[in-house]
Amino acid sequence: MTAGRIGDMTHSELRAFVEAIVEERTQGEPRRCYKQRSRRPIEEVLASIRRNVVTPKPGTPSIVEMLREDRDR
């Protein structure tokens, strides 16, 4: 690879560069899995999250609208 900057690379040089990084990362140390700290089954946690999703009432301003109002004060 002769280019000093990514912006100066050709398409094939950039592709080879990205493939080399992906190969290096996938062949390296395996990713650590999430270690569950509680005895509560994951399925139960996900079901609880689904049951407790808060749905705003119609006409309630969105988070973005509230942030804009706050910013404009």
Tens-place pLDDT, residues 32-49: 777 878 899 989 999 999
pTM: 0.37
Residue 16 lies in a domain: yes
Task: Please state, in angstroms and as integers, the Cα–Cα distance from residue 59 to each residue in 47, 62, 65, following that order.
Answer: 28, 9, 12
The tally of domains found in the chain comes to 1
Residue 29 lies in a domain: yes
Tell me the two tokens of residue 63.
């988070």
Residue with token string 């900057």: 5
Domain that holds residue 15: 6-56
Per-10-residue mean pLDDT, the chain, length 73: 80 93 82 80 93 92 94 92
Residue 23 lies in a domain: yes
Residue 61 lies in a domain: no
Classify the phi-psi angles of 59: left when phi > 0, otherwise alpha if psi is within -120 to 50, otherwise beta: left
Residue 71 lies in a domain: no
